[in-house]
Amino acid sequence: AAGLPAMPKIYIINDPAPNAFATGRKPETASVAVTAGLLARLNRDELQGVIAHEISHILNRDILFVTLAGIMLGSIVLLSQVFLRGMFYSSMMGSRRRFSSGGKGGGQAQIVMLVVAIVVAILAPIMAYLLYFALSRRREYLADAGGARLTRYPEGLASALEKIANDPSPQLATVNKVTAPMYIANPFKKKKQRKLSDLTSTHPPISERVRILRNMTHGASFKDYSNAFAKVTHTKTVIPPTALTKEDIALREADVKAKKE
């Protein structure tokens, strides 16, 4: 129904912390993993919302996208470190004598260029990190929009995100900084959400994601998510213009069995 060429493999992680992620660089070889804690805490509508979110990641090829972005980020950081270390060792060996051979004016120009190069080498990794975090957050918004569209019930995903955020379980046992961006919610436990930390987070604030989903009161299309996103964040939409022209999608009622759970 989601348009995938093959059914993703499903894995259950024996961990009490509720969370989920998708993996696989192409839809044909994709997998979805959910924790035992997630299955124990969510009702049917909420679980459908989480799975739909992960399927949207697969449809958008986000795993490949984030992998390539990570490689580019790592390359920038590596080149910056090589340059700065090279300059440090060169200065230790007395390479500054080169500036005196070209005359005062030429030497000053070289010094200025060197200072500029050092500043760029320091700032480039910082900017690359911020761009990487921003792109990761954007992909999460897109997956939320796709999840709401697939289920036609944004409240299911919103409620699931709330339960994940408020769960008192300890942090996931196997999580690390490399795998953290893959999860539906940041698996690292934080006592407080701060504006500064939002800029350096791979995930948007869950409270904001929930508000956007609950503002989808007129439909479940990408256009409805775009309108809700603009209303909550007061910024431009993250939805591509081509997706906004797609058909309207009506909201559905909550699953009867989910209400009883």
Place of tokens 């124990």: 40
What's the residue count for the chain?
A: 261
Give me 94's structure tokens: 């007395």
DSSP state of 30: -
Instruction: Decide: helix, strand or coil at residue 145.
Output: helix
Instruction: Decide: helix, strand or coil at residue 12.
Output: strand
- Say how far apart CA 154 and CA 50 lie, in whole Å: 10
Q: Which residues form the catalytic set?
A: 54
* Side chain identity, residue 174: T
- Start-to-end Cα distance in the chain: 25
Selection from 70, 79, 184 nearest residue 135 by Cα: 70
Instruction: Decide: helix, strand or coil at residue 13.
Output: strand
